[in-house]
C-alpha cells in the first residue's frame, strides 16, 4: 500500500476518533519533545498498518480494523496531562488506562482486542502487563518505533504537523474529553 492508501484507510476506519475533539486537541500538546500527541498517534497508526500488512503476508491473521482503532486511541489519555498527572512516571502508568476509558466513549462497541491493545501498549514498562492479542503487540512495537523516531528525527514528523480541523477553541480546550 502507498502512504496515501494507508492514510485513506486509517481515516476510513478511524474518522470518528480523528474528528473527535480530544484527538484534535492532541495537535496542540507537545509529545516526545518534537511532535504532538496527534501527530505521534497518526504515525503509530501508519506504522501499525504497515507492520500488520507485512505480518498478513507471512500468514499471520491480523484484525486491521481493530489495529487502526487501537493505534489511534493508544495515547489519547495523555491529552491534558499537565493538569491530570503530577509527573512523568504517573503519566506513564495512568495514561494507558485513561486512553482505554476514552476509547470506550469514542468507540462504544470497541472489543477486547482494541481495549486490551490500548491498555497494555506501554508493556514492558507499564503496570498493565503484556498485550493479549497480536494487534496489541503491533501497537506496542509501532509505538516504540515511532517514539524513537520522534526523538531522533530533526523536526519530528513533518507530515502531520498541522491540525486537520483544529481551531483556537480546540487549542484552548487541550484537556478536552470525548
The answer to whether residues 104 and 116 touch, using CB atoms and an 8 Å cutoff, is no
For the chain, the distance separating the N- and C-terminal CA atoms, rounded to the nearest angstrom, is 31
Specify the pLDDT at position 31.
67
Could you tell me the pTM of the whole model?
Answer: 0.84
- Nearest one of 13, 20, 163, 9 to 99, comparing CA atoms: 20
CA angle 107/84/147 to nearest 5° reads: 70
Least confident span in 54-58, 62-66, 135-139, 155-159: 155-159
Where on the phi/psi map is residue 31: left (φ > 0), alpha (ψ -120 to 50), or beta?
Answer: beta
For the residues 128-155, what does the mean pLDDT come to?
Answer: 86
Mean pLDDT of the chain: 83
What domains are defined for the chain?
A: 3-162 (1.10.3210)
Give the three cell numbers for residue 16: 470518528
Residue-wise pLDDT for 101-128, tens only, equals: 999 999 999 999 999 999 998 887 877 8
* pLDDT for 33: 60
| Separation between Cα atoms, residue 55 and residue 141, nearest integer Å | 13
Amino acid at each position: 500500500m502507498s502512504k496515501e492508501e494507508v492514510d485513506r484507510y486509517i481515516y476510513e476506519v478511524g474518522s470518528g476518533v480523528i474528528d473527535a475533539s480530544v484527538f484534535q486537541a492532541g495537535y496542540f500538546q507537545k509529545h516526545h519533545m518534537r511532535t504532538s500527541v496527534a501527530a505521534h498517534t497518526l504515525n503509530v497508526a501508519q506504522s501499525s498498518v504497515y507492520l500488520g500488512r507485512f505480518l498478513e503476508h507471512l500468514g499471520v491473521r491480523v484484525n486491521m480494523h481493530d489495529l487502526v482503532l487501537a493505534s489511534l486511541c493508544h495515547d489519547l489519555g495523555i491529552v491534558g496531562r499537565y493538569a491530570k498527572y503530577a509527573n512523568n512516571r504517573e503519566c506513564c502508568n495512568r495514561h494507558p488506562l485513561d486512553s482505554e476509558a476514552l476509547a470506550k466513549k469514542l468507540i462504544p462497541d470497541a472489543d477486547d482486542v482494541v481495549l486490551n491493545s490500548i491498555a497494555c501498549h506501554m508493556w514492558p514498562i507499564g503496570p498493565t502487563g503484556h498485550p493479549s492479542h497480536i494487534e496489541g503487540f503491533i501497537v506496542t512495537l509501532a509505538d516504540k518505533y515511532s517514539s524513537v523516531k520522534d526523538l531522533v528525527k530533526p523536526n519530528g514528523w513533518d507530515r502531520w504537523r498541522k491540525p486537520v480541523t483544529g481551531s483556537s477553541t480546540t487549542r484552548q480546550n487541550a484537556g478536552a474529553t470525548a
